[in-house]
Chains A and B, each alone.
Chain A
């Protein structure tokens, strides 16, 4: 298993944990949709996996390195960096402090940009790219990091159709290469396309295949009053209120 989480309780406050009782495993080549409402603990779970959020109890094991693709709104659009500069950031950790970025790192970053269909934009300033292109650059940065585990924070949120198709292709390729993917989303339909689904709303609600995890009961517990079930019970619509963890 590339990711193994047991009875995890984590958060920034000593008094109350943001997530509790989280336990799941992810094998290489597997994708897991982390489904939950805004403020439900998806980002805290990712931060716990990255070692950024303190663990109050439980155990997290990640093998083969971990890369993170955040939502693009965390990036500063006024920063003077090109798409290639951002992709190169994925190679920083592999370089000792005294070594300059060389051809090998540039080739890795360019290959990552090629995979997300942005070779032609390598010199374009990050802030000048469209929202979908920016998302793909951040994915390229994670590809350049060459980690076995990749966390993606709502990668399809607000991206155009072309970018969504390209992102989907890249995620399929990553799975085929044996990497483990954890993709946070609040889109139930998107979660159905993953190998497994982890429903979380501070507590872990369900974990399993989409058929096992996406039951009406689990969705109701995950989303509470934000969930609207269609009369035949086959579809769930989530009405999201905007808040941030």
Chain B
């Protein structure tokens, strides 16, 4: 195994990426097709206060993050209905509130400001056996949700509101997708941090969308891109001592830009 991956913490980080890549393929594709990128970013950011309080309270960070992510996902629908807000407005409102609460908790209540950038942007050192186990569980949840509802996700995404006429139940499928995304976001936090979950769950999928002409090909390409970009980001992050989430975001953005230019020039295209 070459250079950086001789170290155990890098091997764990590599395994984390290997587990996250298929999650990105299954759920990232739906995030891109169902226009849930902002929701995904919102859930990621909303986990921040959960992560901040988890340490001082002595609970596993994933549990704190999952509790807040669940409250965010559930609160989104209620807030939208109660205040008659559009989905993206409700997401923005809750996202800003969660981020502000997290910052106040981190800096003033628990005085743990030094760890904030690790929570927001991820760390190679943060990935241990419990984190890998959680990501493995998130992958099982993602695969299970896709087995149950992938057809309803595709039919409902292609033509909102007609899944029922095709003999499928849309509402459980939609809630299942939102829940599976929330779990995947929490799983991705250790590698890429609360602010940059989109680097692995959104950017590879929207890049694949530029090229792919079918949902299945989009899923396959998303998984391959997430894996390659993730591994390359780990390597670069190790070499330059940078947060892996930020490196992956820059790398993913560069690949997206290249694909977009190639499409513009007629070299690739869906």
Please give the residue numbers on chain A whose beta carbons come within 8 Å of chain B beta carbons, in ascending order: 50-52, 65-68, 70, 74-76, 79-82, 85-86, 89-90, 92-95, 97-98, 125-126, 141, 145, 151
Residues of B within 8 A of A51 (CB): 164
Residues of B within 8 A of A75 (CB): 158-159
Residues of A within 8 A of B151 (CB): 89, 92, 95
Give the total of B residues in contact with A, Cβ under 8 Å.
Answer: 26
Residues of B within 8 A of A151 (CB): 165
Q: Is B218 touching A80 in the complex (CB atoms < 8 A)?
A: yes
Residues of A within 8 A of B215 (CB): 80-81, 85
User: B57-65, B182-190, B206-214: which one contacts chain A?
Assistant: B206-214
Residues of B within 8 A of A68 (CB): 162, 165
Q: Does B83 contact A (CB under 8 A)?
A: no
Q: Is B165 touching A89 in the complex (CB atoms < 8 A)?
A: no
Within 8 A of A (CB), among B156-176: 157-162, 164-168
Residues of A within 8 A of B33 (CB): 79-80
11 further interface pairs, Cβ-Cβ under 8 Å (given A70-B162, A81-B158): A68-B162, A74-B161, A76-B157, A76-B159, A80-B33, A80-B218, A82-B213, A92-B152, A93-B166, A141-B166, A145-B166
Report which of A67, A89, A98 forms a contact with B147, defined as CB distance below 8 A: A98
Q: Is A80 touching B167 in the complex (CB atoms < 8 A)?
A: no
Q: Is A92 touching B167 in the complex (CB atoms < 8 A)?
A: yes
Please give the residue numbers on chain B whose beta carbons come within 8 Å of chain A beta carbons, in ascending order: 33, 147-148, 151-152, 154-155, 157-162, 164-168, 209, 212-215, 217-218, 270
Known A70-B162, A89-B154: A80·B168 in contact at CB below 8 Å: no
Residues of A within 8 A of B154 (CB): 81, 89
Query: Who on chain B is nearest to A89 by CB?
Result: B155
Chain A: minimal CB distance from B81 (Å): 13
Q: Is B148 touching A97 in the complex (CB atoms < 8 A)?
A: yes
Query: Who on chain A is nearest to B149 by CB?
Result: A97
Known A51-B164, A90-B166, A97-B147: A80·B270 in contact at CB below 8 Å: yes
Please indicate which of the listed interface residues B147, B152, B165, B218 has the most CB atoms of chain A within 10 Å of its own CB. Answer: B165
Q: Is B157 touching A125 in the complex (CB atoms < 8 A)?
A: no
Report which of A66, A89, A95 forms a contact with B158, defined as CB distance below 8 A: A89
